[in-house]
Amino acid sequence: MIPSPQELLARCPTDSEIYAECYETTGLRLTDGGMDSTVSTTAGAAVRCFRRGAVGFAATHDLGPGGLARAVAAAAAAADAVPSQGAVLPADSRATTAFSAGQRLTAASQADLKSVLEAVRTELGGTRSGSCTPVTLTAELGRRRTAVCNGTGLARWFEEAYVRIGATALVPGPRGQGLGQASWWGRDLGDLPVTELAGRVTTDGRVRLAAAGRRLRGEPLLVTAPVAARLLAHCTGLFASGDAPESAHGLSPAVTLDDDPLAADVVGAAPFDGEGVVTTSKTLVDQGRPARGLGDYQTSRRTGDPSAAGNVQRSAYTQWPAVGVSVLTLRPGVDPPKALTAGAEGGYLVQGVRGLSAGDGRIGAEFLAVPLRSGAAAGPPVRLPVTTTPAGLLGSVTHVGCSLYRHGAIGAPDLLLDGARLVAPNRHSASDHEGERS
C-alpha cells in the first residue's frame, strides 16, 4: 500500500509535490501445456520541487519516511542546479479528492480469469470462428492506487482496476495457417465480448496469410474500427500543446476528436490528472478545425485559461510527468456500414495492420486488406505499404461510421479514407512488384 494523501502532506515541504503509486497485477497464461500464473507488486514515489521558478525531480521505491525524505532532498538539490523556467507549484482548490473505478473487478480471482480464458478458447475452437487452434491465451488483472499532494494543501487519491485479455490462435486458410492475434481491455470481466474477440483473432489470422504486395494507387480504403483505433493511437502527439496545434491543420471536416477523462467506465479516465488538477472534457478537433491542445498547470498560467490544465499523464513514478490525452475518441458519424462499403467500391477493406510505427512525425504501416468489388470481398488479402503523417491520416477521412469501437483509452468507428491522400513508401520489395503485376 501507499501512504494516504494526508500522510504524504505531512511529509511534503511547502515548495514540493509528492506523487505515489502502487501497481498490483495478477497474470494468467493458458496454453496446451497448462496454465502459468504470476503475481507482482511495484510501488514508489516521485517528488518535484518548485524553487525560484526551477523544477527538480527525484524518484524513490522506498515509501517509508526515510525514503521520502531523501527523495525530497534530492529534488530540492536538482531544482537548485537548474535555471528558472518560471514554473510554480500547481494549485487547485476544486472538489474531487478521491475516486474509484472498476470496483466490480476488486473481488475477481484467478479462477474468474481462468473461466474467461476457457470461454475464449471454446469460442475460438468452434465452427463460428473457423475451428481455430488456440496457441496462447492471457489475462492480466491490474489494480492501481495513486496519491498526489503538494505544499498548497492539494491532496488527491485515485484507485482503479482493469483487466486485459489477449488471444493468439492458428487460423486455417486457403494458403495454410495464419497466426491471428487480438486483445481487449476494460473495467469489468462481464463486458468482455467473447465472440467479437474470437472473430477479430480469426480475421487477423486470415489477412496475415496475404502473400501479394500491392502499391496503393489512390483507391478508397474502408478501415475497420479496430484498425482505426490502433492508427488513432499514433496521432495523440498532435495535441500535446496548450494552444490549438498548428500541426493539426488540414484535417477532414468528417473528423471530430474528443478527450474525455470523465468517462469513468473507460480505462484511462480519472477526475484529476497526474498533478492533481481536476480534469475536464475537451473537444480537440471540431469538424476538422483544431479547437484546442492539451496542457498542464504551467500552460494554464501562461494562457490565462484554467481549463487548459488537467492533462498531465504519469507513465511511471520514475518518469517525469508529461502532457498527453486521457481518453481519446474519434466521434462516430451517421454513415451505416452499407454506405461505407459502397463508398469503398473498387478499393480495399482494411482488416488488419502490421509493422505500425511512428517516428519523425510520420506513421508507417502495412495494411492487410481485401479488394472490394460489388460490395463484397473479391480476391485474396493483399499487403498495402503506407506512410503518412498523423495530420495526413486524419485529413484523408471522408466518411465516419456510426458505431464506436474502443480499445482501452482509444475509441474509433469504421473510417472511409481517400487513398489518394496517403503516400506509399518509395521502396518496395520484390514481392510488392510481383503483386503489382498480378
DSSP string, 132-143: -EEEEEEEEEEE
**Contact predicate 300/365, CB 8 Å:** no
Quote the pLDDT of residue 96: 61
CA atoms within 13 A on the CB side of 172: 10
pLDDT at 104 over 80: no
- Of the pLDDT bands very low, low, confident and very high (cuts 50, 70, 90), residue 240 is low
Q: What is the DSSP letter of 243?
A: S
Angle (CA) 367-123-372 rounded to 5° is 30
Give kind and range of the element (H or E) at residue 435.
helix 430-437
pTM value?
Answer: 0.88
Fold classification of 5-200 is PmbA/TldD fold (3.30.2290)
Quote the pLDDT of residue 372: 96
Assign 331 to helix, strand or coil: coil
Mean pLDDT of 213-230: 93
Pairwise CA distance, residues 390 & 311, whole Å: 20
- Of the pLDDT bands very low, low, confident and very high (cuts 50, 70, 90), residue 306 is confident
Assign 102 to helix, strand or coil: coil
Q: Where are the alpha helices (DSSP H) in 109-170?
A: 110-125
Please report, as a single letter, which amino acid is at residue 279.
T
- Of the pLDDT bands very low, low, confident and very high (cuts 50, 70, 90), residue 245 is low
Residue 250's region, left for phi above 0, alpha for psi from -120 to 50, else beta, is left
Quote the pLDDT of residue 66: 95
Quote the pLDDT of residue 436: 35
- Of the pLDDT bands very low, low, confident and very high (cuts 50, 70, 90), residue 429 is very low
Mean pLDDT of 258-265: 87
The distance in angstroms from the start CA to the end CA of the chain is: 61
pLDDT at 8 over 60: yes
pLDDT digits (tens, 9 = 90+) for 316-357: 999 999 999 999 999 999 999 999 999 999 999 999 888 888
Q: Where are the alpha helices (DSSP H) in 259-377?
A: 297-303, 337-343
- Of the pLDDT bands very low, low, confident and very high (cuts 50, 70, 90), residue 433 is very low
Pairwise CA distance, residues 140 & 27, whole Å: 4
pLDDT at 393 over 50: yes
Pairwise CA distance, residues 374 & 394, whole Å: 27
Pairwise CA distance, residues 316 & 58, whole Å: 13
Quote the pLDDT of residue 129: 63
- Of the pLDDT bands very low, low, confident and very high (cuts 50, 70, 90), residue 176 is confident
Domain ranges of the chain: 5-200, 210-438
Pairwise CA distance, residues 246 & 431, whole Å: 39
Kindly give, in sequence order, each residue whose CB lies less than 8 Å from that of residue 403, ignoring residues fewer than 6 positions away: 225, 332, 413, 414
Pairwise CA distance, residues 215 & 376, whole Å: 21
